Amino acid sequence: MRRRWIVGSVLFLFCATFAVWVSIRPSLEREWAPDQARQPRTVFDGTRLHITNVRNFDHCPDSGSTIERWEERTFDLDELESVWMVLSLFKKDWRGPAHPFLSFGFADSTYLSVSVEARREVGETYSIWKGISKRFELTYVVAVEPDVLKLRTLCHDDRVFLYPLDISPEKGRQMLSEMLKRANSLGEKAEFYHTVFSNCTTEIIARANTIATIRIPGGVHSFLPGYSDKVVHSLGLIDASGSIEDVRARFQVNDRAMMIGDDPRFSIRIREGSP
């Protein structure tokens, strides 16, 4: 009798916990962290992109207080010339935990970055374990490149790599369009972020594989994205010769970012000297 009672109690608790878990729904309405408070919205007008809520923050100015700027920008897809992969490593002694995102270069030397992130509430910090338990929604941040690059090189002191991708401008235009359409859909219907199955890396892979002639496989790099550059390099998608160790050494940009600082030509200068 006692054993049946214990088994019954365990089953009841399991079912109750599962019912609560299933009932949790993602939301667009929370008190979001300031740097993720707004989601981008793109209106497609032929080849022209009208994007609202483009982030242009100064995250660590001398004054100490973040300067917040949300802007409306227009880009012409016909002017897109290049695509760059940014990889920001969180740890000094382990490549695993990292954040990849893409930057798109236009003919006027403007660079637009698209970063897939776990959307945090005010006071909340990112956690791998929280990312498994429906604690974050999925969001796309569209920002001017100096915002995100300076945040990670100068403010967070992450190890940051800026890799030129060997893909055609046409494929780049398709990739940017796919990412902005996905951002629009998340602005209309919320979805949960998941550390393993729906994260910064899996979202990029999913969008890339809709247009790719060479499919990017899933694997350990999907949830340990610090190794994703090795996969991209092995597929011949980084526009550089040499081993992955050589390529990493040549395209780490922390020292360059430190020297450039607040130069208004940040995105141009950080690429000067790149092979």
- Read off the pLDDT of residues 151-205 as tens digits, 9 standing for 90 and up: 999 999 999 999 999 999 999 999 999 999 999 999 999 999 999 999 999 999 9
- Read off the pLDDT of residues 2-39 as tens digits, 9 standing for 90 and up: 555 554 444 544 444 434 445 468 999 999 999 999 99
Predicted TM-score (pTM) of this structure: 0.91
Q: Which residues pair with 106 in a beta bridge?
A: 80
Token pair of 46 as six digits: 């032929």
User: What phi and psi, each to the nearest 5 degrees, are found at residue 170?
Assistant: -60, -45
Contact indicator for 104, 80 with CB cutoff of 8 Å: yes
> Which pLDDT score is estimated for 21?
41
Percent of the chain with pLDDT over 90: 78
- Read off the pLDDT of residues 101-110 as tens digits, 9 standing for 90 and up: 999 999 999 9
- Read off the pLDDT of residues 55-93 as tens digits, 9 standing for 90 and up: 999 998 877 789 999 999 999 999 999 999 999 999 888
Token pair of 166 as six digits: 């060997």
Spatial CA neighbour of 28 closest among 116, 121, 99? 121
